Amino acid sequence: MTHPTRRGVIAGASSLAALSAGGAFAQSAPTNPVMLNIIDVAGNLQLTQASIEKFARDNPKLISRLNFSRAPSPELPAKLKAQQDANRVDIDMVLTGPGAMSDGIQQGLWVDVWKSHTASLPKAEDIYHEQALMMQRNFGQNEGVAVVYSPSGPLFEYMADKVKTVPKTAEEFLAYVKQNPNRFTYARPLNSGPGWTFLQGMPYILGDSDPTDPMNGWAKTWTYLKELGTAIDYYPTGTAATMKELGDGTRDCIVSTLGWDINPRALGIVPKEAKVFTIANTHWIPDTQFMCIPKGVAAEKIPVILALMSHLLKPESQAATYDKGYFYPGPAIKGVTLAMAPKESQDVLKEFGRPEYDGLISSLPTRPPLTPARLVAAFRRWDQEIGVGHAPK
């Protein structure tokens, strides 16, 4: 997923001694400090880069240098597979959302850190809050370490001066889109958090026979999305493009999520006065970003990466993930409140957050995303049946 660029501010630090005492550094430290190549395909560095850099500064005996890079999520699995086949893996840690995470599990690209390195990570049930633990078990499985969490969406974001009557049901929304062709769009689900949650949320909204089975249980959803597509000119490749189009007046309504509503307004990409709505039978489809280690990483780097992962799960690092609302709320672990976040984060959320969000988060039911294999199948089917013929501009 491609996101507007900005960084969080981090308070506090963890030392090597603290990590050792906490059991997060069970393996021996490297003889010499290592260079880590970290790739982000989810926009996660906006939430974690400052914490990662702080860890490196505090532990010069572990890390000599950090190299950060970013890439579109769909491109990563093939790149990693090629490196692994050639025994030349030059990516040490991946920060990923659901797309590359799922593909990587299916292709066997990731180290099963929760099984192979149990003693080097905190116990999941001890640190994660209930919803993040659900995502960790059902989605991250043994390979991904959940680092941030959001109830996510689906939400619809709109300009009130353009959408005079807000749809309340799926039927009303379809009628609105068809009456206002090319004024609504959403991004390709494989590369978009809002697109991802919208795709998986519609089976619940429409009352499909099995919302967990996109191949055999989504008859109503696929029919609905095809009909919706008759009034959509194209599907952008990423969420940022939809936000830009809402901001410049090209669109009147787009698919959004909690974080994608708050953050682009805070950044000035979308007008502050933009509003959001949900439709009947909405269920939260939460989003989680994970830390993964590709198979083939040099053995001496593994304990360093595990120590870094543990550092990013500490309260100080987690409090920074409130950021400017990008992955709202953000923290994946228990007991991290907005009051613990940097003042900048508190100020932004006071101005651009929405009072109704706490009520929506507590009142709407939450359902886990599709399993990785079924998510990959859903992405593929959307590309083949919905996205086809709607090439990006």
User: Domain span at residue 378?
Assistant: 176-285+366-386
298, part of any domain: yes
pLDDT band, residue 21 (cuts 50/70/90): very low
Residues 43 and 136 occupy one common structural domain:
yes
The residue behind tokens 């619809």 is 156
**Burial class of 248 by CB neighbour count within 10 A (0 to 12, 13 to 18, 19+):** exposed
Residues 143 and 277 occupy one common structural domain:
no
User: Cα Rg for the chain, rounded, in angstroms?
Assistant: 21
Q: Has residue 17 got a pLDDT over 60? A: no
Residues 234 and 376 occupy one common structural domain:
yes
Tally of domains within the chain: 2
4, part of any domain: no
71, part of any domain: yes
Reported as a single tens digit per residue, the pLDDT across 267-302 is 999 999 999 999 999 999 999 999 999 999 999 999
Q: Has residue 15 got a pLDDT over 60? A: no
378, part of any domain: yes
Handedness of CA 202, 206, 212, 214 (dihedral sign): negative
When comparing pLDDT for 108 and 100, which is higher? 108
Task: Say what the pLDDT of residue 389 is.
Answer: 79
Residues 247 and 258 occupy one common structural domain:
yes
Task: Say what the pLDDT of residue 22 is.
Answer: 37
Residues 87 and 127 occupy one common structural domain:
yes
Name the residue among 330, 150, 169, 181 with its Cα closest to residue 256: 150
**How many other CB atoms are found less than 10 A from the CB of residue 57?**
11
Task: Say what the pLDDT of residue 138 is.
Answer: 83
Tell me the CATH number at 82. 3.40.190.10
Residues 210 and 253 occupy one common structural domain:
yes
How much of the chain is helix, strand and coil, in % rounded to 5?
Answer: 45, 15, 40
Task: Say what the pLDDT of residue 28 is.
Answer: 59
342, part of any domain: yes
Residues 102 and 224 occupy one common structural domain:
no
Residues 263 and 376 occupy one common structural domain:
yes
Is residue 251 within 8 Å of residue 233, measured between CB atoms? no
Residues 376 and 263 occupy one common structural domain:
yes
Phi and psi based region of residue 281 (left: phi greater than 0; alpha: psi -120 to 50; beta: remaining): left
**Which range has the worst mean pLDDT, 7-11, 19-23, 117-121, 268-272?**
7-11
Residues 190 and 232 occupy one common structural domain:
yes
Q: Has residue 348 got a pLDDT over 50? A: yes
Give the long-range contacts of residues 211-218, CB within 8 A, separation 24 or more. Answer: 211/367, 212/370, 212/371, 212/374, 213/374, 214/370, 214/374, 214/377, 214/378, 214/381, 215/374, 215/377, 215/381, 218/378
Average predicted confidence (pLDDT) for the chain? 91
pLDDT band, residue 24 (cuts 50/70/90): very low
Q: Has residue 27 got a pLDDT over 70? A: no
The dihedral formed by the CA atoms of 182, 269, 43 and 322, expressed in degrees to the nearest 10: -120
Amino acid (one-letter) located at 266: A
Which residues is 330 bridged to in the sheet?
Answer: 149
pTM summary value = 0.85
Q: Which tokens in the block code for residue 301? A: 């780097």
227, part of any domain: yes
Is residue 348 within 8 Å of residue 266, measured between CB atoms? yes
Task: Say what the pLDDT of residue 29 is.
Answer: 67
When comparing pLDDT for 27 and 118, which is higher? 118
Name the residue among 168, 163, 122 with its Cα closest to residue 145: 122
Residues 53 and 112 occupy one common structural domain:
yes
Distance (Å, whole) CA 74 – CA 201 = 21
Reported as a single tens digit per residue, the pLDDT across 62-102 is 999 999 999 988 899 999 999 999 999 999 999 998 778 88
User: Would you call 358 helix, strand, or coil by DSSP?
Assistant: helix
Q: Which tokens in the block code for residue 222? A: 């696929």
Residues 250 and 372 occupy one common structural domain:
yes
392, part of any domain: no
Name the residue among 274, 341, 333, 273 with its Cα closest to residue 309: 333
**Which range has the worst mean pLDDT, 2-11, 20-29, 174-183, 352-361?**
2-11
When comparing pLDDT for 173 and 75, which is higher? 173
